[in-house]
Amino acid sequence: MKRKLLSLSMALAMTASLLAGCRSSADQGSAAASTQAPAADTAATEAATEAATETAGSGIAKEDLKVGVIYIGDENEGYTAAHMDGIKQMKESLGLSDDQVIEKTNIPEDESCYDAAADLAEQGCQIVFANSFGHETYMLQAAADYPDVQFCHATGYQAKSSGLANMHNYFTSVYESRYVSGVVAGLKLNEMIDDGTVKKEDCKIGYVGAFPYAEVISGFTSFFLGVRSVCPDATMEVRYTNSWADMSAENEMAKSLIADGCVLISQHADTTGAPTACEAAKVPCVGYNVDMTTVAPDAALTSASISWGPYYTYAVQSLLDGTPIDTDWCQGYADGADKITPINEKVCAEGTQEKVDEVESAIKDGSLHVFDTSTFTIGGKSLDDLIAEGGDYAKYADSTKDGYYHESDTTLNGSAPSFDILIDGITSITE
């Protein structure tokens, strides 16, 4: 009885305080609403005065800095996990405290993204990041509404054309990581051909893609070019899940590709679905974002990966220094923004590490170009010839020079991947 009473009084006390909490905050809310001067405006004017002093003096003092981040997923999803790592790196290298970084996870690509961005701006964040492609238009909307807050959007392409000074895009030259991971896969294929497990003519790779547009097409093309640089007989079949992160769909897709005769699997989708299927089927695979050896210790070769730390550190440091942030930012292997995860010695072919080192240094010193036009054809013709013929391919003319396609070049076509041509050797079921 005593305990009952105790718990009852506890419950009562709790509810009372909860109600009190509600009331006071609701009052504040209605008060703000009834003055008909939405908090947005006051926050904006406050920020405006702040910005004015900022341009007069230098940057924002470190202790006043607040950073907001919007993630499509959470730590359970590889792509977002990589971003979270980057934010952590930035926090450590700049010496920010935990309460100076506000992270919102699992924000879908709809009005919730605008809600989150506006909410972060009103909480006093001077800079807000968002990490998914579909967030972009909502970030643009927030950037227009809060002109004194910097909005940075990964994988997007509209900052430059928006004309908003506080809207920025960023991405890395992930095609370089994919190329290197392709080399690792190609060496494995060679080993399988040499020991007779696979015939030369059956050497087909399966690729689990998310959506059929440039970011994914550029990704699998660079991966395939990496494979072919060491294993010229390889072909590739691409299928799409139409989702960035769908564990069961990616798993099913990998299984059906394996059933269709694919002897190696790679992916541009964010979960461990495909590697799990590969581990069960004992088919080697190349992952994305994070090391897949935890789920596929006997199948994972390596993963193409991005380090977001350099960008986050750069962008936030710019705020501290009071220098402008690039409207469009892209760095690659040479700057430490791209990498592959440590190669899995257990599965990888002998001599992989040496070859990887060689390719990596060639990429870094600029002697190797991933989209070298002499290494691929389209319908039997080279890209250079097709551009010379004009027509549909004329639009690639500006980005194609010096013998290669300039992918993710911020001076030519922006940080977001733009190579969207299906090259020979790759079959894709949507085409």
Cβ atoms < 10 Å from Cβ of 256:
14
Nearer to other proteins, 170 or 211 (CB): 211
Any long-range contacts for 51-58 (C-beta under 8 Å, 24+ apart)? 51/148, 54/322, 55/322, 57/322, 58/321, 58/322
373 CB-near residues (< 8 Å, 6+ apart): 382, 383, 384, 400, 403, 404, 405
Is 319 a binder of other proteins (CB under 8 A)? Answer: no
* Alpha-carbon separation of residue 321 from 11, 51, 315, 317, 331 (angstroms): 51, 13, 10, 6, 21
154-185 in b/e form (b: 16+ CB < 10 A) is bbbbbbeebebebbbbbbbbbbbbbbbbbbbb
Report the residue from 64, 110, 260, 358 that binds other proteins according to the rule CB under 8 A. Answer: 110
Q: How many residues bind other proteins (CB under 8 A)?
A: 56
In the region spanning residues 56 to 85, those forming contacts with other proteins, defined by CB under 8 A, are 74
- Shortest spacing between CB 74 and other proteins, in angstroms: 6
Is 28 a binder of other proteins (CB under 8 A)? Answer: yes
- Shortest spacing between CB 322 and other proteins, in angstroms: 28
Nearer to other proteins, 23 or 346 (CB): 23
Is 211 a binder of other proteins (CB under 8 A)? Answer: yes
In the region spanning residues 86 to 105, those forming contacts with other proteins, defined by CB under 8 A, are 102-105
Amino acid at 279: E
- Shortest spacing between CB 367 and other proteins, in angstroms: 32
Sheet bearing 338-340, strands edge to edge? 338-340, 300-306, 285-288, 264-268, 204-209, 235-240, 426-428
**Kindly report the CA angle at 136 between 134 and 141, in degrees rounded to 5?**
130
Query: Which residue stretch of 4-12, 315-323, 366-374, 382-390 sits at the interface with other proteins (rule: CB under 8 A)?
Result: 4-12
- Shortest spacing between CB 129 and other proteins, in angstroms: 14
Contact 183, 359 (CB under 8 A): yes
Nearer to other proteins, 21 or 297 (CB): 21
Report the residue from 93, 100, 141, 382 that binds other proteins according to the rule CB under 8 A. Answer: 141
d(C-alpha 93, C-alpha 35), whole Å? 43
Is 280 a binder of other proteins (CB under 8 A)? Answer: no
Query: Which residue stretch of 18-26, 228-236, 264-272, 275-283 sits at the interface with other proteins (rule: CB under 8 A)?
Result: 18-26
Is 395 a binder of other proteins (CB under 8 A)? Answer: no
Report the residue from 136, 176, 270, 407 that binds other proteins according to the rule CB under 8 A. Answer: 136
Give 9: exposed, middle or buried? Use CB within 10 Å, 0-12, 13-18, 19+: exposed
Amino acid at 41: D
Helical H segments across 282-382, by residue range: 309-321, 352-364
Report the residue from 50, 109, 246, 291 that binds other proteins according to the rule CB under 8 A. Answer: 109
Is 270 a binder of other proteins (CB under 8 A)? Answer: no
Place of tokens 């919730």: 112
Report the residue from 93, 137, 375, 382 that binds other proteins according to the rule CB under 8 A. Answer: 137
Is 133 a binder of other proteins (CB under 8 A)? Answer: yes
* Alpha-carbon separation of residue 195 from 189, 201, 326 (angstroms): 10, 15, 50
Nearer to other proteins, 116 or 340 (CB): 116
- Shortest spacing between CB 304 and other proteins, in angstroms: 20
- Shortest spacing between CB 392 and other proteins, in angstroms: 13
Element holding 15 (H helix, E strand): helix 2-34
Q: Is 183 helix (H, G, I), strand (E, B) or coil?
A: helix
* Residues making contact with other proteins (CB under 8 A): 7, 10-12, 14-15, 17-18, 21-22, 25-26, 28-30, 32-33, 36, 38-41, 74, 102-111, 115-116, 118-119, 122, 133-134, 136-138, 140-141, 157, 211-217, 242, 420, 430
